[in-house]
């Protein structure tokens, strides 16, 4: 029987900033993406996360927002109402960018943790373009990846429990592109890591 050929995966680190807990009532205000690396049958090859990137700031889609959530990003919501990109245009441009950087591979969105960012990104892609270049499940959660390799309960994992050499040396700025690049470096380190007995539960 012929062996089924499996396409490589192209991992794209994505970070979003939003003004509330869920899309629809609240808005994704910005998102950044950075190509983190490629995985095939021979293993994972890290990319320079600053080489292929994407960033947009978006016009809010509703008048509702949570002040505490908005404050995290430091973005000026009133400016975005005037100057932010139309979501449909920005998400179509992003989808095309994903297709271009992932030629010959299957794109996979990754994040730490991925759930919040994926929820907004997937909802926006379907709402404004009708499709997702990642499909409905092309998502990798770095927190789960670490928990599995470290043999720790998922809810016990935080960046403070990780060996320092796994973490990016970049600051977490809450600028979506900065954080996407930072997360891309974390993914590359996690992919190379074999797991460690030094992984610890928080005290």
Q: Which residues are known to be catalytic?
A: 174
Q: What are the Cα distances from residue 173, in Å, to 101, 117, 177?
A: 25, 16, 9
Of 117, 76, 181, 178, nearest to 125 (Cα)? Answer: 117
* Cis bond before residue 78 (omega within 30° of 0): no
Report the distance separating Cα 35 and Cα 31, nearest Å. Answer: 14
For 149, the token pair is: 């390799």
**Hey, what are 161's tokens?**
């429990």
Q: How many whole angstroms separate alpha carbon 56 and alpha carbon 88?
A: 12
């Amino acid at each position: 029987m012929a062996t089924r050929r499996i396409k490589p995966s192209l991992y794209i680190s994505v970070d979003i900033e939003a003004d509330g807990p869920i899309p629809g009532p609240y808005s994704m205000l910005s998102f950044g993406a950075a190509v983190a690396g490629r995985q095939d049958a021979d293993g994972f090859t890290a990319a320079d996360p600053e080489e292929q990137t994407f960033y947009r700031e978006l016009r809010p889609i509703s008048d509702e927002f949570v002040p505490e959530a908005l404050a995290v990003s430091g973005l000026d919501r009133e400016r975005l109402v005037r100057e932010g990109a139309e979501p449909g245009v920005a998400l179509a441009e992003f989808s095309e960018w994903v297709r271009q950087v992932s030629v010959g591979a299957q794109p996979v969105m990754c994040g730490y943790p991925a759930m919040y960012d994926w929820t907004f990104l997937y909802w926006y892609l379907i709402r404004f373009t009708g499709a997702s270049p990642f499909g409905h499940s092309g998502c990798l959660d770095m927190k789960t990846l670490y928990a599995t390799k470290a043999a720790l309960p998922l809810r016990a994992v935080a960046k403070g429990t990780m060996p320092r050499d796994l973490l990016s040396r970049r600051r977490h700025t809450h600028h979506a592109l900065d954080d996407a690049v930072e997360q891309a470096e974390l993914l590359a380190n996690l992919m190379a890591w074999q797991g460690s007995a030094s992984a610890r539960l928080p005290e």
